[in-house]
Amino acid sequence: MFFSKSVMEIISERKSVRTYKDIAILQNDKSKLKDFIDQELQTPFNSKLRFEIIETGDLDRDELRSLGTYGMISGAKNFIAGTVKKDEALDSKIVISKEKFIDYGFALEKIILYLTDAGFGTCWLGGTFKKAGFTKKINSAADEIIPAVTPFGVESGKRALMDRMIRGVAGSKFRKKSGEMFFNNDFTSPLQDNEAGKYAKPLEMVRIAPSASNKQPWRIIKDKNGRFFHIFLLRTRNYPKTPFGVDMQMIDIGIAMCHFELTCIELGIEGSWQKLESPEISDALSTASSAAEVSYIVSWVS
């Protein structure tokens, strides 16, 4: 694989970094990052995505404020921003398929894991940046939007006040237990550790994946034969989309799928993502306690 060490180790090391040292990143490191972006970003639904490295070292304070990260992120001079293409407008509203947001989450998390492996800090930013400022920096077209970005750089040993506050509110200690997210056959039977088999590690890497507001909206059902792992979204009730129509919880699904797939590859577990139509999926949905909020996304087929 393209990482220098175990992807499970990298996933476990990854954390949100909001305070960075004022250290320039070597051009060689940026070139390697660009090569990775150009060559290694295959996604489950093959959406057309575009990612670029944005340098902000020459911006003054007011210009940094125009990016909307000032006060939220301290000291970062480099960002990764990407775009997805809008679908056709429906009644003058922006319409973007869920698959594009899933692919965006999958791809940007892959970049973040690459940066973590390279020794850089990162931080997912969804609703906490001004898209207009980044739109200008990335020269996005009229039919493109920027769903999320990440700064990257060398972590500072001294955390800013905002960093400490956010970690206190949405830290990893608040993550759900596996029995709340992973199930056997339907939503009434939590998947026991001894029932996960060779998929125990991929599922654990999903459990510790980052998500917007740490909501962990993914739910996974293992079928009775262990051949299918069905991915569902349990949408957080009243969770807002951004004014630009960005579905952060679909992006979260992409992040979870990235962790699952990369871990399977590392462990030599063969499989692929497929959208299925099956009575089993309908039956599983009927057992969800809040069926109106649960939707089927895709399945891992081994």
| pLDDT above 90 coverage of the chain, percent | 59
Domain CATH number, residue 288: 3.40.109.10
Q: Where are the alpha helices (DSSP H) in 119-183?
A: 131-138, 161-170
Do 130 and 150 belong to one domain? Answer: yes
Average of per-residue pLDDT across 87-93: 61
Quote the CA–CA distance of 142 and 201 in Å, as a whole number: 42
Whether residue 223 is found in the same domain as residue 131? no
Is the domain of 36 the same as that of 119?
A: yes
Q: Are 152 and 69 in contact (CB under 8 A)?
A: no
Of 104, 137, 165, the residue that ends a domain is 165
pLDDT band at 101 (very low <50, low <70, confident <90, very high): very high
Q: What is the mean pLDDT of the chain?
A: 87
Residue 261 inside a domain? The answer is yes
pLDDT tens profile 184-230? 999 999 999 889 999 999 999 999 999 998 999 999 999 988 899 99
**Is residue 186 domain-resident?**
yes
Q: How confident is the model at residue 300 (pLDDT cuts 50, 70, 90)?
A: very high
Q: Which of 165, 200, 215 is the last residue of a domain?
A: 165
Angle at 269 between CA 82 and CA 115, to 5 degrees: 30
Residues 203 and 267 in one domain: yes
Query: Both 12 and 157 in a single domain?
Result: yes
Q: Is residue 176 part of a domain?
A: yes
Whether 1 is in a domain gets the answer no
Residue 2 lies in a domain: no
Same domain, 269 and 230: yes
Same domain membership, residue 18 and residue 71? yes
End-of-domain residue from the set 136, 165, 194: 165
For residues 37 and 52, what is the distance between their CA atoms, to the nearest angstrom? 8
Residue 255 domain-assigned (yes or no): yes
Q: Are residues 32 and 131 in the same domain?
A: yes
Q: Do both 131 and 219 map to the same domain? A: no
Q: What angle do CA 70, 75, 76 make, to 5 degrees?
A: 85
Question: Is 18 in the same domain as 114?
Answer: yes
Shared-domain flag, residues 287 and 202: yes
| Dihedral (CA of 201, 202, 205, 206) sign | negative
Beta partners for residue 78, in sequence order:
55, 152
145-197 confidence digits (pLDDT tens): 899 999 999 999 766 555 555 555 555 567 899 999 999 999 999 999 889 99
Mark whether 225 and 133 lie in a shared domain.
Answer: no
Domain extent at residue 202: 172-301
The C-alpha atoms of residue 122 and residue 111 are separated, in whole angstroms, by: 10
Residue closest to 76 by CA, chosen among 86, 85, 64:
64
pTM given for the model = 0.91
Count how many domains the chain has. Answer: 2
Strand partners, 74: 19
Specify the pairing of strand 78-85 against strand 49-55.
antiparallel
Is the distance from CB of 252 to CB of 268 less than 8 angstroms?
no
- pLDDT recorded at residue 91: 53
Question: Distance between CA 117 and CA 112 in Å, rounded?
Answer: 9
C-alpha 174/C-alpha 160 separation (Å) is 21
